[in-house]
Amino acid sequence: MSVTGESLRRFLLRWSGVAVFLAAWEVAPRLDWIDPYFVPPFSTVLREAGVMFRDGTLGMHLVVSLWRAVAGLLTAILIGMPVGFLLGRRLVGVEQALRPILTVLSQVNPFSLLPVFLLFFGIGETAKVAVVSWVSLWPVMSFTITATRNVDPAQIRTALSMGISRLDLYCKVVLPAALPTIFTGMRVGAGLTFLILVAAEMLGSSAGLGYLVHNSAMNYLIPRIYAGATFIVVLGFLLNRLLLHVERRLSGVWEAGAFVTGPAGPAGAARLPGPAVSVAALGAVLIFIVFGGLEVSRINREAASYPSEALKHFGHIGQPVDR
Amino acid sequence: MATHGDGTHKEDLKIVLKDIGQVYHLKKSADGSREFQALKDINLQVRAGEFVALVGPSGCGKSTLLDILAGLTRPSSGAVYIDGKEITGPALDRGIVLQGYALFPWRTVRRNVEFGLEIKKVPKSERRGISDHFIRLVGLEGFEEHYPHELSGGMKQRVAIARALAYDPEVLLMDEPFAAVDAQTRETLQDELLRIWDETKKTIIFVTHSIDEAVFLADRVAIFSSNPGTFREIVEVDLPRPRHNSDIRSSAEFGWVRHRIWELLQSRPSQECREGGNIVVKDAISPSATI
């Protein structure tokens, strides 16, 4: 009982900052402390979000953005993990030689690279997916290098003493041992993904959350800007939370140092979900990639079939709104 | 002592270490490359079913020698023979148990124990029976589906022992396996190890820095000196078996053997430490350990 009371208190304390912020957002425009035309009250923004949700606009933009983010992240993982593995364990000398250039590349401001990506890949989906993979590739790769290099030598010695084959050593020891750290890299990559994706969608796109915000700004639909922006924040938060949850679950089990003394019971002990859960999660991602991809191309086709509409939006890009 | 009669003595030899030497080339200093002699003139003959302990100061090359026995490191000179055949690399005829448990945290107790069997490509149906047997042998029945992080240090080391035994090696190599557990658990594990040794008839090479532990467990204790690491003397432990921690430690014979080994270890006092040898040895050993 007291435990639930305590956790409730902590929960309230933790979210009080958000509550105060939202209250201020609601009250300040209403009392004319700030111009309600520039900053509409939170309830107005919520109502706008509700309207967009009901007519399907929000869902459509969400699917497009999410598809791009997931496709980009998957590409980064498919490239970054094997390369990181190779550089981390097999080509240690090569990694040392490449480290400066890898550092420089990962430090390149991705926003400044956007025009280059548009040049190479056009304004189609490839450009967006490419720019997203570019930013998330570096954290995935560098975390994989670190993770595979820091596998407990005793685990490797034990496996080697059994005459394990190199392939088995990688699949049965190095990969699982490195997984929690690799997952951290994926989470960092996912965070950057959303940042760059919204920017990319603002520069050249006909759908997606970034486009939604940009297009609303072009058309002076101020509450819509805030609704879109808020939605992006919430989405990024949820995505981060999901990945953090998986990561904690993994490292809870991996943490070999923290052992319980006395009879070990199942109470509060972290358990790994069965392989069925991982397979289901992977399947869901794949299904989303395929069907989301079909949906995205349909949306793109529809946007293209209203040339006047599209032209109107793109025509504004060169002229920033004066504020 | 596990003497099997003098007539069969020759055929009973399980492990022969012949003139083992290990030299590390350290980083070049101004006056050219420096060499570090980690091991020198190591000779040892171990009978089948014998329990030999290696004691010595830390950094004297005990672990290096164990790596050589495991086939993880090739010696610079000399050779190791098991059953008369020279070893050239790691194989499943030797099981290894390390100080840090080195369990695989993503595997349950059962799947940890079955690891070597998977490497050996033992079919799944047979694996279960074998792991059941060895989990029972180390007294962990009921914990088959637990993960390592749910176990205490002593229990983890039991899993490590069961894992090393499961693929049925004839030789068990143990590198300070009980160093990380508390004193009481340690004594329990020592009793258990002797029971398991008696049941499985393995040949055991046991590295430790505890004289008590060496005397209690072993048939013979090889005493290391460092810089270069070599055997100062090999002491026979003539204590009766079966031994139990409760009674044998207070016996006069135990105290006498213990004191003798202690004197041997003291006879060239801490010279090796003063030369900073420990640090150098550590640096020199670690690359071979990570491979």
* Each residue's pLDDT tens digit, B44-82: 999 989 999 999 887 778 888 888 999 988 999 999 999
A residues 158-177 lying closer than 8 A (beta carbon) to B: 158-165, 168, 172-173, 176-177
* CA–CA separation, B228 and B36 (whole Å): 8
Contact B190, B198 (CB under 8 A): no
Helical H segments across chain B, by residue range: 62-70, 109-113, 115-119, 124-137, 153-166, 183-200, 211-217, 245-248, 252-266, 271-274, 277-290
Could B151 and A153 be called an inter-chain contact, meaning their C-beta atoms sit closer than 8 Å? no
* CA–CA separation, B40 and B21 (whole Å): 4
- Cis upstream peptide for B242 (omega within 30°): yes
pLDDT value for A258: 40
Task: Please name which of A206, A204, A68, A213 lies closest in space to residue A134, comparing C-alpha atoms.
Answer: A68
* CA–CA separation, A174 and A168 (whole Å): 9
CA distance from start to end of chain B: 38
A138 in any annotated domain = yes
| Of the partner residues A156, A261, A266, the one whose CB lies closest to the CB of residue B290 | A156
Which chain B residues are within 8 Å of A270, Cβ to Cβ? 147, 149
Cβ neighbours around B238 below 10 Å, total: 10
Which chain B residues are within 8 Å of A256, Cβ to Cβ? 101, 103, 105, 148-149
User: CB of A92 within 8 Å of any CB in chain B?
Assistant: no
Could B104 and A173 be called an inter-chain contact, meaning their C-beta atoms sit closer than 8 Å? yes
A87 in any annotated domain = yes
Torsion of CA B78, B84, B85, B91, to 10 degrees: -100
Least confident window among A44-53, A195-204, A300-309: A300-309
Tell me the range of A86-100, A186-200, A270-284, B152-166 where mean pLDDT is highest.
Answer: B152-166
* CA–CA separation, B240 and B1 (whole Å): 7
pLDDT value for B209: 86
* CA–CA separation, B103 and B157 (whole Å): 9
A319 in any annotated domain = no
Least confident window among A7-21, A26-40, A264-278, B248-262: A264-278
pLDDT value for A51: 86
* CA–CA separation, B165 and B110 (whole Å): 13
Could B92 and A256 be called an inter-chain contact, meaning their C-beta atoms sit closer than 8 Å? no
Q: What is the mean pLDDT of chain A?
A: 80
Q: Which tokens hold the place of B36? A: 């570090």
A320 in any annotated domain = no
pLDDT value for A259: 38
Could B143 and A177 be called an inter-chain contact, meaning their C-beta atoms sit closer than 8 Å? no
Cβ neighbours around A176 below 10 Å, total: 18
A305 in any annotated domain = yes
pLDDT value for B203: 93
Which chain B residues are within 8 Å of A274, Cβ to Cβ? none
- Which residues make Cβ contacts (< 8 Å) with residue B77, sequence separation at least 6? B19, B20, B21, B23
ipTM value > 0.90: no
Could B100 and A152 be called an inter-chain contact, meaning their C-beta atoms sit closer than 8 Å? yes
Could A157 and B70 be called an inter-chain contact, meaning their C-beta atoms sit closer than 8 Å? yes
* CA–CA separation, B179 and A231 (whole Å): 55
A5 in any annotated domain = no
Torsion of CA B103, B108, B114, B120, to 10 degrees: -70
pLDDT value for A257: 42
Give the residue, A187 or A316, on which the prediction is more confident: A187
Q: A288-318: per-residue pLDDT in tens?
A: 888 888 888 887 777 776 654 444 444 343 3
For residues A97-107, average pLDDT: 84
Token pair 């570096």: residue: A138
For residues A168-177, average pLDDT: 89
Using DSSP's 3-state secondary structure scheme, residue B250 falls into: coil
pLDDT value for B289: 38
Count Cα atoms within 13 angstroms, Cβ side, for B170. 12
- Listing DSSP states for A74-96 in one string gives HHHHHHHHHHHHIIIII-HHHHH
Helical H segments across A150-208, by residue range: 153-161, 166-168, 175-203
In one-letter notation, the amino acid at residue B114 is E
pLDDT along chain B (291 residues), means of 10: 44 85 75 76 90 85 87 90 89 87 89 91 90 90 89 89 90 88 87 90 91 91 84 85 80 87 74 41 38 36
Phi-psi region of A56 (alpha: psi -120 to 50; beta: other; left: phi over 0): left
User: CB of B181 within 8 Å of any CB in chain A?
Assistant: no
* CA–CA separation, B43 and B41 (whole Å): 6
Nearest CA in chain A to B156: A259
The CATH number that applies at residue A288 is 1.10.3720.10
Range of the domain at A160: 26-314
Query: Considering its fold, how many domains does chain A have in total?
Result: 1
Helix (H) or strand (E) holding A121: helix A110-121
A280 in any annotated domain = yes
| Entry pTM | 0.75
* CA–CA separation, A159 and A107 (whole Å): 37
Which chain B residues are within 8 Å of A160, Cβ to Cβ? 72, 90, 291
* CA–CA separation, B179 and A207 (whole Å): 62
* CA–CA separation, A190 and A75 (whole Å): 12
Which chain A residues are within 8 Å of B152, Cβ to Cβ? 259-262, 264
